[in-house]
Structure 1
Amino acid sequence: MEAKSTQDEYKQVREDLKQLREDMANLTRTFSEGQKSNISNLRDEIRKESREAFDQVRQKGNDALNRAKDAGDKAVHDVEHKIEERPFLSVVIMFLVGVLVGKLLDR
């Protein structure tokens, strides 16, 4: 009789181990699927934030370019205005600058 109860206990332990393996497999599978979902959500969030950061950088770059263009246009306008005010003086200054650059390049 004791041999039969030992065999029954042995079978019960085997069944418990089998059930434990199945539970561990299910738990591992569930955990893995949850992690895949988390990784996918994280990847989507990173892409979204990267696009937003890129758009902000592009906008700041465009703003800086526009400011530089405006400053250049203003400088050209100011020079044109100065030349219109004193055309003879402007021609003399350009001649002297040309002579100076020529002398520097002769060396």
Structure 2
Amino acid sequence: METKSSQEEYRQLQQDLKQLREDLANLTRSVTESQKSNISNLRDEIRRESREAFDQVRKTGNDAINRARDTGEKAVNEIEHKIEERPFLTILLMFLAGVLVGKLLDR
């Protein structure tokens, strides 16, 4: 009788181990699928945030270029206006600047 119960316990133990293996395989698959989903979501979030950051940098750069262009145009307009107001003085100053640069380069 004891051999019968030992054999039954052995079969039960085998079934329990088989069930444990199946449960472990299912758990592994479940965790793997969950992690794939998390990685995919994280990748999408990183792409979205990268695009947003790039767009912000582009906008800031474009704004800076536009401000620099406007400032340059204002400076050119002011210089043109000053030249129109005093053409003789402007010619005289440019001549003197040329002479000064020429003397510095002769040394």
Q: TM-score range by the shorter chain?
A: over 0.9
Name the CA distance, whole Å, in 2 between partners of 1:40 and 1:106: 69
Q: Does 1:103 align with 2:95?
A: no
Q: Does 1:5 align with 2:5?
A: yes
CA RMSD across the alignment: 0.5
Q: Does 1:91 align with 2:79?
A: no
The amino acid that maps onto 1:15 is: Q
Report deviation, 1:89: 0.3
Instruction: Give 1:65's aligned residue.
Output: 65
Instruction: Give 2:35's aligned residue.
Output: 35
Relative to the length of structure 2, the TM-score reads 0.98
Q: Deviations over 1:53-92 (max 9, x none)?
A: 1001000000000000000000000000000000000000
Count of residue pairs the alignment pairs up: 107
Task: Please show how residues 43-54 of structure 1 align to structure 2 within 5 Å.
Answer: 43-54=43-54
Report deviation, 1:106: 1.2
Name the CA distance, whole Å, in 1 between partners of 2:104 and 2:10: 104
Name the CA distance, whole Å, in 1 between partners of 2:29 and 2:105: 79
Gaps of 5+ in 2: none
Name the CA distance, whole Å, in 2 between partners of 1:17 and 1:102: 98
Report deviation, 1:98: 0.4
The amino acid that maps onto 2:87 is: P
Relative to the length of structure 1, the TM-score reads 0.98
Q: Does 1:76 align with 2:76?
A: yes
Report deviation, 1:104: 1.1
Name the CA distance, whole Å, in 1 between partners of 2:105 and 2:36: 69
Name the CA distance, whole Å, in 1 between partners of 2:7 and 2:102: 111
- Identity of matched residues, %: 75
The amino acid that maps onto 2:20 is: L
The amino acid that maps onto 1:12 is: Q
Report deviation, 1:105: 1.1
Instruction: Give 2:55's aligned residue.
Output: 55
